[in-house]
Amino acid sequence: MTRVNLNVPFSEKDEAKQLGARWDPSSKVWFVPEGVNPHLFQRWLPDPPPDVTIRANSYRVAETEDTCWKCGELTRMYSFLLPAGYQTFEQGEDYIDAWYTNEGASMVSYVTDLLPTVVAHIKSITRHYYLDFSKTTNSSYWMNHCEHCGMKQGDFAMHCEPGGAFFPMDEEDVSSIKLQHVNEPFSCNGSTSYDSLISDL
């Protein structure tokens, strides 16, 4: 059984303690000990998990060129850059289930459940970025495809390998990524990453 962590503000900690909540000093979180009814702590229970775990008030469409691994031609690749202040929903033993605000910007990869307005926007820019099945992840996600031969261009090489199209190694790599600001909300499921070069964008 997963432990029930509580979202107790500092000013209400004595009250929570009196009702029987315990403090976990290593995770710095109040929790409901086994055998105690969690409903006593209703007001501090965490939010239920949302449908999507990544969100932002605005985003940028990132565009760069890279070589298609299949045909060797240069093709445009797209991704999304979320500004500092974007939020991720975290859950598990070490967290209070909640939205956390991130201080740096981040690319997103392995994107699913993209907000329909974002889908409409990216489709107005390219017809080569669409939901497709990956044998590597054994799942579908929003993926780039070569403009010349149509081959899938998976996120691993682009986002997870140093020097990949969206994993810049120096300022020159960074400057080759064109950014188009979109002042509309963004949400999806997927992965974010910490990269000091991207973080300041």
Look at the alpha carbons of 121, 58, 78, 192 in this order and tell me if their dihedral is positive or negative.
negative
Tokens of 130: 């669409």
Contact window for Zn ion (CB under 5 A) among 15-23, 69-77, 86-94, 158-166: 69-77
Residue from 3, 76, 128, 148 touching Zn ion (CB under 5 A): that is 148
Determine, following the binding rule CB under 5 A, whether residue 70 of this chain makes contact with Zn ion.
Answer: yes
Q: Looking at beta carbons only, is 71 or 131 nearer to Zn ion?
A: 71
- CA distances to 35, 51, 107, 145 from 80, rounded to whole Å, are 45, 19, 6, 16
Calpha distance 190→105 (Å, rounded): 15
Interaction residues for Zn ion, span 21-40 (CB under 5 A): none
Residue from 8, 16, 32, 68 touching Zn ion (CB under 5 A): that is 68
Contacts of 25 (CB under 8 A, 6+ apart): none
Q: Looking at beta carbons only, is 153 or 187 nearer to Zn ion?
A: 153
Determine, following the binding rule CB under 5 A, whether residue 128 of this chain makes contact with Zn ion.
Answer: no
Determine, following the binding rule CB under 5 A, whether residue 146 of this chain makes contact with Zn ion.
Answer: yes
Among 71, 45, 63, CA closest to 177: 63
Q: Looking at beta carbons only, is 154 or 190 nearer to Zn ion?
A: 154
CB of 149 to Zn ion, least distance (A): 3
Contacts of 117 (CB under 8 A, 6+ apart): 184, 185
Q: Which residues bind Zn ion (CB under 5 A)?
A: 68, 70-71, 146, 148-149, 151
